[in-house]
Amino acid sequence: MAENRKELKIAIVHYHLKRGGVTRVIESARSVIKKGGNRVLILSGEAPRADADQEDVRVVPGLNYRKTGNSVIAGSLVEALKKEAKEHFGSLPDVWHFHNPTLAKNVLIPTVVKELAEEGARIVLQLHDFAEDGRPGNYTTQRSFFDSESSFESTLYPTAKQIHYATINQRDHDFLKKAGINRSNLHVIPNAIMELKTEVGPAERPFSKGKKFALYPTRGIRRKNIGELLLLALIYGDEIDFATTLSPENPEWKPVHDDWCSAVKELDLPVRLGIADNGEYLFLDLLGWSDFVVTTSIGEGFGLAFLEPWTAGKSVVGRDLPEITRDFSENQLQLDQLYRRIDFPVEWLEKAELKEAVESMLRRSYLAYDTVLPKNAVKQTLKAWIKKGRIDFGVLNEAMQLQVLRKLKADPSLLESVSIPSMEMADEETICHHREVIRRAYSPESYGARLAGLYHSVLSGHVGKVSYLPTDKVLARFLNPARLNLLRN
């Protein structure tokens, strides 16, 4: 990360350093920044976990999760961040790099960013997740922090020559561009992929003898679409056993997951939900024992599950998410084995019940964001879901999915009316191709080069007047009737 200057001083700011995707990104950034001969400071709301690298980390308690506060407290947090930076670097940083500042995990952060921006600080705002994307509670919490709607509008998305935005996928980049962020201030920084290595193979697994084993490496929250995994098991259960790795931690999702556990027993399906919950099996062993990896998720940010298994020599089969996977296809990953929909006759559902569910979902979604529901919203949603009298299983809520599963279990001949997705694994040549593509395009070295380019752009530009992007322009990109789904909204 060489620059035409003595060294860079980068301050990375986040709420915590718990295990998770954002923490992995921060740790990758620390490594590549230091390898480039530059200096880094990680400012966190709490200390790293005991087994994590503590180097270059300073704890600022005011960064931790927070739902209330005011501008005075935000100002104090700004001063605390500056103080820690000066003690670490001997001066203020060249770049402040904030992760997920608009997600309302700490309602002070947008005001902190605003104060720094209006002082002329050079800033990177890296958005991994959006409150506008199916998280109305976060959005409302952030809005309630401000005294007026105009304050909310004039804080959340600052724009200036010295403020740059980084997204983890092209979809979010395009959404921000359409909302009004200047193209030159927008960057896509996909996550680095670390190769997974397993020491066991399918022949050594202690279960699923005489059958294939498909692993879904996920925690079974709603958007992971567990009902569709049961559908695959109902179709392919004679040949394949299926399993998810973990049950939900959040008590909010546990009852739904418990219902699916009950459905597995009721329908007598070869599925184990939360196979790694009790510690009997380790994740890397489960991955090594699997014949392939499956995903049925209907919503992802970066899409790690589409990439990581290939590094361990495992095919990825399941539901495609074109908004996310188009980035991978552009890097020559062949994703033809994924399916876009699992269609069945819409007449299997009660028309009035389906329409009522869509109307209710739309009303709740738009009300949650305090936004007017478009007059033709129901029609837009149903048009996206239903094609030639057939509807996609993946857009339905749990009750409707279970209704379809019971119908198919009672009369297997009805499977002739379902668009059966393929569970065919890739050949060894394709697996090797994918592994090499991932090594090239998503390596820590590639990540470091992109990060260096981002910082160069931030530092080479002028400092200009700060203005603010209207928040409704970002919200409109995500809150689109054709994008909504009964499992997320």
Residue that wins the pLDDT comparison between 155 and 342: 342
Topology, domain 9-192+443-478: Rossmann fold (3.40.50)
The DSSP secondary-structure symbol of 43 reads E
d(CA 207, CA 204): 9
d(CA 195, CA 9): 29
Give the closest residue to 287 by CA, choosing from 337, 218, 194, 236. Answer: 218
pLDDT 10s digits, 6-58: 689 999 999 999 878 899 899 989 999 999 899 999 999 999 888 788 889 99
User: Is the model's pLDDT at 256 over the cut of 70?
Assistant: yes
Instruction: Note the residue count of the chain.
Output: 489
Dig out the tokens for 188 from the structure.
């896509």
- For tokens 């990825």, what's the residue? 316
Contact 98, 161 (CB under 8 A): no
d(CA 183, CA 254): 42
pLDDT 10s digits, 133-156: 988 999 999 999 997 777 888 899
pLDDT 10s digits, 447-471: 999 999 999 999 998 999 999 999 9
In this structure, the dihedral spanned by the alpha carbons of residues 219, 220, 221 and 222, taken in order and rounded to 10 degrees, is 150
CB atoms within 10 A of CB 18: 13
pLDDT attached to residue 2: 45
- Class of CATH domain 202-342+420-436: alpha beta
Q: What are phi and psi of 437, to 5 degrees?
A: -60, -45
CA distances (Å), origin 50, targets 54, 57, 296: 8, 13, 34
pLDDT 10s digits, 364-373: 999 999 999 9
CA 149 to chain centre: 28
Q: Where in the chain is the domain with CATH 3.40.50.2000?
A: 9-192+443-478, 202-342+420-436
User: Is the model's pLDDT at 5 over the cut of 90?
Assistant: no
Give the closest residue to 315 by CA, choosing from 292, 297, 348. Answer: 292
CB atoms within 10 A of CB 61: 11
Pairing assessment for the beta strands 158-159 and 467-468 based on DSSP bridges: antiparallel
Q: Helices (DSSP H) in 183-272: which residue ranges?
A: 226-236, 254-267
pLDDT 10s digits, 260-272: 999 999 999 999 9
pLDDT attached to residue 376: 95
pLDDT 10s digits, 385-414: 999 999 999 999 999 999 999 999 999 999
* DSSP secondary structure, 161-190, as one string: TTEEEEESSHHHHHHHHHHT--GGGEEE-P
Percent of the chain at pLDDT above 90?
87
Would you call 330 helix, strand, or coil by DSSP?
coil
User: Is the model's pLDDT at 290 over the cut of 60?
Assistant: yes
Percent of the chain at pLDDT above 70?
99
Residue type, 89: F
Give the chain's largest Cα–Cα span. Answer: 73
Give the closest residue to 245 by CA, choosing from 222, 279, 268, 269. Answer: 279
392 DSSP β-pair partners = 343
Contact 193, 311 (CB under 8 A): yes
Dig out the tokens for 230 from the structure.
């049961």
d(CA 97, CA 25): 12
**Averaged pLDDT score across all residues of the chain:** 94
Which of the four pLDDT bands, split at 50, 70 and 90, describes residue 3? Answer: very low
pLDDT attached to residue 310: 97
Contact 295, 218 (CB under 8 A): yes
Would you call 44 helix, strand, or coil by DSSP?
strand
pLDDT 10s digits, 109-132: 999 999 999 999 999 999 999 999
pLDDT attached to residue 6: 67
Span 178-189, average pLDDT:
96
d(CA 37, CA 455): 14
Contact 354, 392 (CB under 8 A): no
Span 195-220, average pLDDT:
96
Dig out the tokens for 304 from the structure.
């790690």
CA neighbours closer than 13 Å in the CB half-sphere of residue 205: 24
Dig out the tokens for 344 from the structure.
């069945």
d(CA 109, CA 64): 10
Contact 361, 489 (CB under 8 A): yes
pLDDT attached to residue 272: 98
Q: Helices (DSSP H) in 219-375: which residue ranges?
A: 226-236, 254-267, 283-289, 308-311, 322-329, 351-368
- For tokens 């380019």, what's the residue? 453
- For tokens 């949650």, what's the residue? 368
